[in-house]
Each structure stands twice: as structure tokens, then as C-alpha cells.
């Protein structure tokens, strides 16, 4: 009698799925609209660069007060796009085991946005003060605080990118190279956030950290855009629901 061997069928592990949405891309586009102010508003260089003389600091603010105020308002409108981007990726990943990391990423990104808006609002206040009779020391002090708030954004941004990239890696729903790009960019931003203060005003060291941070920022932007497109192209909630319904009917 011929023996028939029946191979036990291994249980199928469902493929990681993303719930596609437009939020991540909308957030990225909104955030990149900051370049409208950077390139088009003529707000000068504020906060000013290290080593700028007090006289030049006052001149920078008094000469661009209206443009600085307009830029500050614009940043308050577009910078929350970073939070919307994280929210979109978080929604795409769902509420599984990665939810703690995505929640952390959203919270730290919100901190970075608040700090950055605060830095430019303070610069706007310095511009107003410079054109309404404030003394030189006041303007210099406001500029210094604005500078340090601006430095403080990098560690929270790095933590957010790092946390979200680890969540993406854990979910196994994105290309691994994309996840690791985010991890590297996040780590660079974290390191920059830690050392930016101590090297502030030390030209030789600041040039090095600035060059490294530029690599991190470019990596962050590339990671953000590619991630947003991947989320956009993923099946939407309705498509996923249709797949589930069809699978149930077949059983």
C-alpha cells in the first residue's frame, strides 16, 4: 500500500499592511512651505549668526522688522505640518505594538514645533522692539534667547524621527533602507542638539557640527518625502476593508 505523506501546512503570517492616507504627504508639503518665507520674505538673518556685533544685531532687526513679523506668522502656520506628517504615518501603521513609539514621535515633534515657532515669534518681538525705542542690550538679549530656542529644536526632531523610523522598522511595512535612513538622520539630529549649545560661537567647531547637521537635515527631508509617498500609495482604509470582507466570504 502506497503511503501518502501529507505535509502539514504552515500557518500563514499576514503581510504587514499600511492603511494609506494623504495626511503624511499633506503634512510634508505644508512643512516645506517654510521655504516661501525663507526665500521670499526678505527677513534677513535672524536669529543672527554668532559673532555678530551688537550694533549689527540691532540694525538687522530694525531693518527687517515687518518681514520678520510676517515670517514668524507664516512659520506658525506651516511648521505644524511636521506634526501632521507624523500623525499620518502613525495612522498608516495602526494601533499595534508600534503605537507607543509613534505616540512618542508625535509628542517630541510637537515639542520641536513649539520651540521653533517660539524662536521666530521672539525674533518678531525683537524686531518690533528695535523699531519702537528699545535699547541695544534688550535687542541683543532677545536675539540670544531666540538663537537658543532655535538650537533646542534639533534634539526633539531627532528623537521624533528616530522613534518613528524604529516603529516603521518594527512594523516591516516600509523598505528597510528607508527606515535606517531615518534612524541615521535622527541620531545625527540628536547629537547636534546636544552639542550645538556648547560649540555655539566657537567658529572652528561650529563649522564642523553645522556640516554634519546639514547631512542629517538632508537625510531627514529625503526620508520624510519618500515615507509620505509610500503612505500615499498604500491601500486606503476602504481598500483594506474590502480585502477583509472578500476573505471572509471565501471562508
**Residue 181 is assigned to a structural domain of this protein:** yes
**Residue 99 is assigned to a structural domain of this protein:** yes
Print the domain residue range for 97: 23-233
Which pLDDT does position 203 carry in this prediction?
78
- Which has the closest alpha carbon to 28: 227, 235, 244? 227
Structural domains of the chain, count: 1
Contacts of 207 (CB under 8 A, 6+ apart): none
**Residue 2 is assigned to a structural domain of this protein:** no
**Residue 186 is assigned to a structural domain of this protein:** yes
**Residue 7 is assigned to a structural domain of this protein:** no
**Residue 16 is assigned to a structural domain of this protein:** no
For CA atoms 96, 101, 103, 106, the dihedral sign is negative
Q: Are 166 and 97 in contact (CB under 8 A)?
A: no
Q: How many residues are given for the chain?
A: 251
The number of C-alpha atoms within 13 Å of 196 and in the hemisphere containing its C-beta is 21
**Residue 95 is assigned to a structural domain of this protein:** yes
Which pLDDT does position 251 carry in this prediction?
52
Q: Are 196 and 151 in contact (CB under 8 A)?
A: yes
Which pLDDT does position 202 carry in this prediction?
86
One digit per residue, pLDDT tens: the chain, 251 residues? 444 444 444 444 344 578 999 999 999 999 999 999 999 999 989 999 988 999 999 999 999 999 999 999 999 999 999 999 999 999 999 877 678 999 999 999 999 999 999 999 999 999 999 999 999 999 999 999 999 999 999 999 999 999 999 999 999 999 999 999 999 999 999 999 999 999 988 877 888 888 999 999 999 999 999 999 999 999 875 444 444 445 445 55
- Which has the closest alpha carbon to 179: 100, 93, 113? 93
Amino acid at each position: 500500500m502506497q503511503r501518502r505523506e501529507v505535509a502539514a501546512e504552515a500557518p500563514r503570517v499576514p503581510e504587514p499592511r499600511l492603511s494609506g492616507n494623504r495626511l503624511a504627504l499633506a503634512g510634508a508639503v505644508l512643512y516645506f512651505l517654510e521655504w516661501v518665507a525663507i526665500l521670499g520674505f526678505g527677513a534677513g538673518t535672524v536669529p543672527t549668526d554668532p559673532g555678530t556685533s551688537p550694533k549689527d544685531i540691532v540694525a538687522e532687526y530694525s531693518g527687517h522688522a515687518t518681514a520678520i513679523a510676517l515670517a514668524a506668522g507664516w512659520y506658525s502656520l506651516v511648521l505644524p505640518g511636521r506634526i501632521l506628517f507624523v500623525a499620518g504615518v502613525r495612522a498608516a501603521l495602526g494601533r499595534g505594538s508600534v503605537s507607543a513609539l509613534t505616540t512618542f514621535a508625535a509628542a517630541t515633534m510637537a515639542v520641536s514645533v513649539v520651540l521653533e515657532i517660539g524662536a521666530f515669534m521672539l525674533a518678531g518681538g525683537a524686531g518690533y522692539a528695535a523699531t519702537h525705542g528699545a535699547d541695544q542690550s534688550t535687542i541683543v538679549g532677545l536675539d540670544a534667547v531666540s538663537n537658543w530656542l532655535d538650537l533646542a529644536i534639533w534634539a526633539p526632531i531627532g528623537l521624533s524621527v528616530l522613534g518613528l523610523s524604529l516603529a516603521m522598522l518594527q512594523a516591516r511595512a516600509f523598505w528597510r533602507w528607508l527606515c535606517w535612513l531615518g534612524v541615521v538622520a535622527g541620531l545625527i539630529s540628536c547629537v547636534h542638539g546636544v552639542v550645538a549649545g556648547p560649540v555655539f560661537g566657537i567658529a572652528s567647531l561650529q563649522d564642523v557640527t553645522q556640516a554634519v547637521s546639514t547631512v542629517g537635515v538632508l537625510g531627514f527631508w529625503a526620508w520624510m518625502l519618500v515615507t509620505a509617498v509610500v503612505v500615499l500609495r498604500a491601500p486606503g482604509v476602504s481598500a483594506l476593508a474590502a480585502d477583509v470582507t472578500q476573505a471572509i466570504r471565501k471562508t
